[in-house]
Chain A
């Protein structure tokens, strides 16, 4: 297990380096001058030169790149132009909110997906299956930017059950978490159904049934456990959708996380902060992917070979 862990950790380094390089390249090589964008087309050339120098953008690109990587290794991503504070500090303050929302979305997704997937997989073609899969295709199709406002209208403006926006106690978390978790729930339920159908045909399920176990307890006790490995893989695959879903959900519900920080830094043309937020999302995703690989290795020992 330790060797497998170290091997995966080693594979992380080139990907992280690639992510950092691509982010740097996007900011520095894509046509369009950030300094001109910040100051406007009509800015005086002297001002443009001044800001470019202050941001260190007038130095050779290679030198800037080395500095960027060195800073990244030390956790220093420069200073935000709008906040006049270190980028890493700003992101560190917002990151817990994003994490909280993402985990809540994951939990909601699983809470909805498991009953739906089991109902559908227990009796494929039955009424429960049709209902569950109908919900699933709707859940996959409804975008966050519509589901969020829809939930707001029904549950916070009409029924007044939950607050409209912002972050606070549990009640603030419900609507954003449901907005974020629904799409995941739909994908998971479909996959769970599929694996349960495959599992039902297996020898160990036949053994469990011939031992005298009822169909439902066989399905839950033996089938579900084996279907779980594919759920872990899928959660890993869906982590990206979950993270950017959180980004959009944050904007909808004015949730003070890194996603909202990214969007506000884009409109403020605060490029050091944009760079930092983009890196944060990408590196989080890379780390989450490695973590799911490890969980997978724990659940299914064959992977470690």
Chain B
């Protein structure tokens, strides 16, 4: 029982993040879209904990709403990527032969688009908007899970207990669901946890580039972008969303590290 401080710290940050996303707007109690030009660039104070942006909108309230968007988008993207990726990877691993070959060549081509390039290109063509953002990010994210699931299926199906189940007459579907899926759950959970952190960063980057959530919708990425113009007079406009993004990603990375340690010690 070595220290699993990562797991504890990560779980705490992620739990806080989830609570903020769920009830944050109520905590803020202020409309994040309400414009008060008289409060333009007001510094942090008791009334406005994190100050106000150029249009006099309360930054704290916008950060709270941004958490909802960030978590909502990243969890949806990971869920969609995981579903599509596991399905495609599972088909490849089960069929083997030319179907596997064809699928994996397709995956290679998608992977030839580095980092968030594919999401940038798709978001540029689909146009800005939350649904298009989720589609663009998922189109980039599914390959990781496809490769992971295919690899697991290929190695697990050679295990003795799987051969035993097949000898006893279990069909492909039953082998997959009852014998392979439980064994894969650990690595998939670890990957998906890191995945959420990665998508939070990618979503923020796309919104920062003007390809994700468009103003006035508060997203951490577009707040950071808008704050850059006032970096001299109001640095807190960049610091607040920046810290929020960094902390959220840190939380999922720590949780992922912790889960990986947990899975490692068990096997």
Contact = CB atoms under 8 A, between A and B. Distances in A.
A145 B232 contact: no
Interface residues of B, number: 47
Contact of B115 (A21, A26, A244, A286): A244
Interface in B167-181: none
Interface in B66-111: 105-106, 108-110
Given A18-B112, A32-B125, A149-B224, A143 B246 contact: yes
A27 B125 contact: yes
A31 B245 CA distance: 32
Interface string A1-44: 00000000000001100110111001100111010010000000
Given A30-B126, A141-B249, A145-B204, A153 B114 contact: no
Contact of B109 (A22, A153, A262): A22
Contact of A157 (B120, B126, B204, B231): B231
Given A140-B253, A142-B246, A143-B249, A262 B120 contact: yes
Given A19-B112, A152-B231, A137 B253 contact: yes
B161 interface: no
Contacts of A153: 231, 235, 238-239
The residue among B127, B228, B243, B247 with the most chain A CB atoms within 10 A of its own CB is B228
Contacts of B242: 143, 145-146, 149-150
B224 A145 contact: yes
B214 to A, nearest CB: 12
A157 B231 CA distance: 9
A130 to B, nearest CB: 10
Contacts of B30: none
Contacts of A26: 121-122, 125
A262 B209 CA distance: 11
Interface string B183-224: 000000000000001000100110011110000000001001
Nearest to A278: B121
A61 interface: no
B250 interface: yes
Nearest to B111: A240
A244 B114 CA distance: 7
Contacts of B113: 19, 22, 278, 281-282, 285
A266 B225 CA distance: 17
A248 B119 CA distance: 13
B224 A243 contact: no
Interface of A: 14-15, 18-19, 21-23, 26-27, 30-32, 34, 37, 137-138, 140-146, 149-150, 152-153, 157, 239-241, 243-245, 247-248, 251-252, 262-263, 266-267, 274, 278, 281-282, 285-286
Interface of B: 105-106, 108-110, 112-117, 120-122, 124-127, 197, 201, 204-205, 208-211, 221, 224-225, 227-228, 231-232, 235, 238-239, 241-243, 245-247, 249-250, 253-254, 257
